[in-house]
């Protein structure tokens, strides 16, 4: 069963408008939590860092506002607004906000 949270029904919306920036923080808004998929919006204030980590399934990143600076494996990837990135399962990655940005993360979870 899928729980869709915090999304307006029958009304057009913009993902970037669903959460605000907070000074000195990374904020998150969970939209969908299910057995196989999670969707979360993250809003990074400038100079915030999400340290190197790995995910058990692939993660699809969509930049909603600003520009994100990822390190995927040993490679730096710059993602401006409107661009997307697929990070394979198990690949170490991190992200830094050199400026404010928002992203939508769709995580595919293994169905053990």
* Residue-wise pLDDT tens digits, 31-51: 998 889 999 999 999 999 999
Please state the domain count of the chain.
1
**pLDDT tens sequence across 43-87:** 999 999 999 999 999 999 999 999 999 999 999 999 999 999 999
Residue/partner pairs of 81-88 with CB below 8 Å, 24 or more apart: 84/60, 85/60, 85/61, 86/58, 86/59, 86/60, 86/61, 87/55, 87/58, 87/59, 87/60, 87/61, 88/58
Its domain, for residue 51, covers 30-108
Q: Is residue 14 part of a domain?
A: no
Residue 9 has pLDDT above 90, yes or no: no
pTM, full prediction: 0.92
- Nearest CA to 107 out of 36, 43, 19 is that of 36
Residue 3 confidence (pLDDT) = 58
Q: Quick check: is 54 in a domain?
A: yes
Q: Kindly state whether residue 48 falls inside one of the protein's structural domains.
A: yes
> Does residue 4 contact residue 38 with C-beta atoms inside 8 Å?
no
Residue 61 maps to a domain: yes
CA 95 to CA 39: how far, in whole Å?
A: 17
Residue 72 domain-assigned (yes or no): yes
CATH number (domain holding residue 45): 2.60.120.10
Q: Which of 48, 53, 59, 51 is nearest to 26 (CA)?
A: 48
Tell me, what's the pLDDT at 1?
Answer: 40
């Amino acid at each position: 069963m899928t729980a869709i949270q915090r999304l307006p029904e029958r009304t057009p919306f913009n993902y970037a408008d669903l959460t605000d920036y907070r000074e000195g923080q990374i904020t998150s808004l969970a939209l969908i939590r299910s057995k196989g998929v999670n969707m979360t919006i993250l809003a990074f204030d400038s100079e915030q860092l999400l340290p190197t980590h790995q995910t058990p399934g692939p993660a699809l990143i969509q930049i909603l506002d600003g520009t994100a600076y990822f390190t995927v494996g040993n490679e730096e990837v710059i993602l401006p607004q409107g661009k997307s990135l697929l990070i394979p399962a198990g690949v170490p990655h991190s992200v830094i906000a050199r400026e404010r940005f928002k992203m939508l993360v769709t995580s595919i979870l293994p169905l053990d």
